[in-house]
Copies of this chain bind each other. A is one copy, B any other.
Amino acid sequence: MEPRKRLNKDVLASTALAVLDGDGLDAVTMRRVGQELGVTPMALYRHFRDKEQILDAVAELLLAEVHLPQPDERPWEEQLKDLLLAFSASLRPHASAAGLVATRILASEPGLTLAERTLELLDQAGFEVEQAAEIAGQALCSVVTLVVTEPGRDPQADAEAREDAIRMRKAELEALSRKRYPRIVAAAGALASCASEDVYYARGIELVVAGISGAHTGLERATT
């Protein structure tokens, strides 16, 4: 509905991201994005070959928002934890868009920079390139997955509707057969939402780094 902005890739991508945040992925249509800018849908084709390219640009936007921590002298585990935390911090406000990133990290400059920095830390740790590549991909994608599957997440709902949905979800799980699903019933609360989102991400990333640390220990055992 904005009247006179000169169109360019960044404005279009930000507009698409705003629609995504507000109304979800299905709401992102050429017509809707054009409308938000007070422009015909066809105007978008001057800047993007097709809709896929707009989603690519949205993913790039998220990756560009990652505030990469400066390298320092702490152990690589600590630095990697901070890197993954910074990545999660950029994705968390855009849960509906986060999934776009998983398959697009190597497709833009900021994503490549993020991946390069991750590989650098794994290289410092002593991993050889092939294994470092696999681990870096898995670690970064794990962060995306944490955001996309955050329990109780409901990106389009306001706080009240979200709480209702969580309560209902929890009640459904508690109503399951205690015989067949004793542990799911017992864990219903934790499965329906997380007590603290910050703790959820901290523990999730801790787990990823601990896994890499474990592979690293195996590696030292193998080479010494």
In the complex, A195→B129 CA distance in Å?
A: 13
Q: Who on chain B is nearest to A123 by CB?
A: B183
Instruction: Check if A191 sits within 8 Å of B137, measured CB to CB.
Output: yes
Within 151-205 of A, Cβ neighbours of B (below 8 Å) are at 151, 173, 176, 180-184, 186-187, 189-191, 194-195, 200, 203-204
Copy total for this chain: 2
In the complex, A209→B184 CA distance in Å?
A: 20
Chain B residues, CB < 8 A from A182? 116
Instruction: Check if A106 sits within 8 Å of B191, measured CB to CB.
Output: yes
In the complex, A151→B113 CA distance in Å?
A: 19
Instruction: Check if B149 sits within 8 Å of A102, measured CB to CB.
Output: yes
Instruction: Check if A187 sits within 8 Å of B142, measured CB to CB.
Output: no
Instruction: Check if A195 sits within 8 Å of B130, measured CB to CB.
Output: yes
Instruction: Check if A183 sits within 8 Å of B129, measured CB to CB.
Output: yes
Instruction: Check if A149 sits within 8 Å of B120, measured CB to CB.
Output: no
Q: Who on chain B is nearest to A142 by CB?
A: B142
Q: Who on chain B is nearest to A112 by CB?
A: B181
Assess whether A30 is interfacial by the CB under 8 Å rule.
no
Main secondary structure of the interface of A (DSSP, over half): helix
Interface residues on A, range: 35 or more
9 A-B pairs with CB atoms under 8 Å apart are: A106-B173, A112-B180, A113-B181, A115-B191, A129-B186, A130-B195, A133-B191, A210-B213, A214-B214
Count chain B CB atoms within 10 A of each CB in A112, A119, A207, A209 and give the residue with the most: A207
Give which listed residue, B112, B134, B191, B210, contacts A194 with CB less than 8 A: B134
Assess whether A37 is interfacial by the CB under 8 Å rule.
no
Could you tell me the distance in whole angstroms from the C-beta of A189 to the nearest C-beta in chain B?
Answer: 8
Assess whether A59 is interfacial by the CB under 8 Å rule.
no
Chain B residues, CB < 8 A from A142? 138, 142, 145
